[in-house]
Amino acid sequence: MQSTNDKFKVVGTQLSDAEKISKPSLSFWKDVFIRFRKNKLAMFGLVLLAILIFMAIFGPYMTEYDYKTNDLTNKNQPPSAEHWFGTDDLGRDMFTRTWEGARISIFIGVAAALIDLFIGVAWGGIAGYKGGRTDETMMRAADILSGIPYLLLVILLMVVLGQGLGTMILAMTITGWINMSRIVRGQVLMLKSQEYVLASKTLGANTTRIMGKHLIPNSMGPILVTMTLTVPSAIFTEAYLGFLGLGLTPPLASWGTMANDGLPALRYYPWRLFFPAIFICLTIFAFNVVGDGLRDALDPRSRK
C-alpha cells in the first residue's frame, strides 16, 4: 500500500528549514583567529606588543632630546616632568634612549627570528623530504653545530669581527636555526606520505612545488609558534650579551647595554637600571603569551 504526503505532517519544524546549514563553515585560519581572540592573556600580550612597537617607532620623537647627546650639567637626574625617565651619568635623556634601545632590541629579535626561519625551513624541509643519507648528513651537521658552546662562539666572533649590530645577529643565527630545522623536518616527515603529496608526485610536480605548495604551508602552525617564541629568546640573548659588555658599541643603545650601564649605579640611581629591565621583561612576556596563544589556537586537539 502506497502512502501519500497528505497523510503525514511534520511537527515542530518547517520543511523549508530542514536543508538549512545550522552553522556557517569556517576556514582554518579564521577558526584559528576566533580561538586566539578568546584567549584573553594572548590578546593582552598582542596589545602590549603593539604599544611597545608603537613607542619604539615614535617614542624617540616625543621629546626634544637626542639619545646620544651628552649634557653633564644634567647627569643622573631622577624622573621628572623634564626628563620622564631621568638621565644617565652623561646627562642623556633616558626616555629617548629607552625607546631608541627598543628599536635595536626588537630589530635584533625579529631579524634573528627571520633568518632562523629561512635557514631552518630550508634545511629541515630538504632533510625531511629527501630522507635517507641526505637527511642523516644534514641533521648530523646540525647536531655538531648545536654542540658548540654558544658563549664561546659569540666571544670568538666579537674578537674576530668586532662588536656591532651585524656581528651580534650573526652570532645568534649561526646555531639559532637548528631548533626550527628540527621542527620543520618532523612536520615534513609526517606529511610527505599523505595522499595529496603522493597525488602531486604522480601528476609530475617537482620537489620545489611540493615543498612550496603542500608541505611548508601545512607546517605553518608549528613554524609560526616557533618563530614567535624565537623573538623573545633573541631579545634576551642580546640583553644578556649587552649586560656582559659584549653588546653594541657606544653611542648605540640597546636595553642590554643600558642595563649594563645602570647596574653600577643601582644603589643611588635605580631608574637607570629599572626602565630597560622592566621593558625587557614586558617584551619577553608579551611575545611568550602570544606564542602560547598561537600554539593553543593552532593545535587541532584544542578544537571543540
Judge contact between 174 and 112, C-beta under 8 A: no
Of the chain, the percentage scoring pLDDT greater than 90 comes to: 7
Q: Is 150 exposed, middle or buried (0-12, 13-18, 19+ CB in 10 A)?
A: middle
pLDDT tens-digit map of 71-113: 778 888 888 888 888 888 888 888 888 998 888 888 888 898 8
Beta strands in the chain (DSSP E): none
Distance CA 178, CA 148 (A): 12
Cβ(176)–Cβ(230) under 8 Å? yes
| DSSP states of 61-107 | GSSS--TT---GGGTTPPS-SSSTT-B-TT--BHHHHHHHHHHHHHH
Give the phi and the psi of residue 283 in degrees, each rounded to 5. Answer: -65, -45
> Ramachandran region of residue 139, left (φ > 0), alpha (ψ -120 to 50) or beta?
alpha
Rounded CA-CA distance 259/94 in Å is 12
Segments making up each domain of the chain, as ranges:
40-53+81-302
- pLDDT (0 to 100) of residue 81: 86
Q: Is the dihedral of CA 268, 97, 257, 49 positive or negative?
A: positive
Q: Does 61 have pLDDT greater than 50?
A: yes
**Cell numbers of 224, please?**
609560526
Output the CATH code of domain 40-53+81-302: 1.10.3720.10
Q: Which of 93, 84, 25 shows the shortest CA–CA distance to 253?
A: 93
Q: Which residue has the cell 634601545?
A: 101
Summarize pLDDT for 139-165 with one digit per residue, the tens: 888 888 888 877 778 778 877 887 778
State the pLDDT confidence band at 304, using cuts at 50, 70 and 90: very low
DSSP designation for 203: T
What's the predicted TM-score (pTM) here? 0.79
Burial class (CB in 10 A: 0-12, 13-18, 19+), 296: middle
Rounded alpha-carbon distances, angstroms, from residue 21 to 18, 34, 182, 188: 8, 20, 42, 36
Q: What is the mean pLDDT of the chain?
A: 81
Tally Cβ neighbours within 10 Å of residue 163.
16
pLDDT in tens, 195-236: 878 888 787 778 788 887 778 887 887 888 888 888 888 888
Q: Rg (Cα) of the chain, in Å, rounded? A: 27
Q: Predicted confidence band at 11 (pLDDT cuts at 50, 70, 90)?
A: low
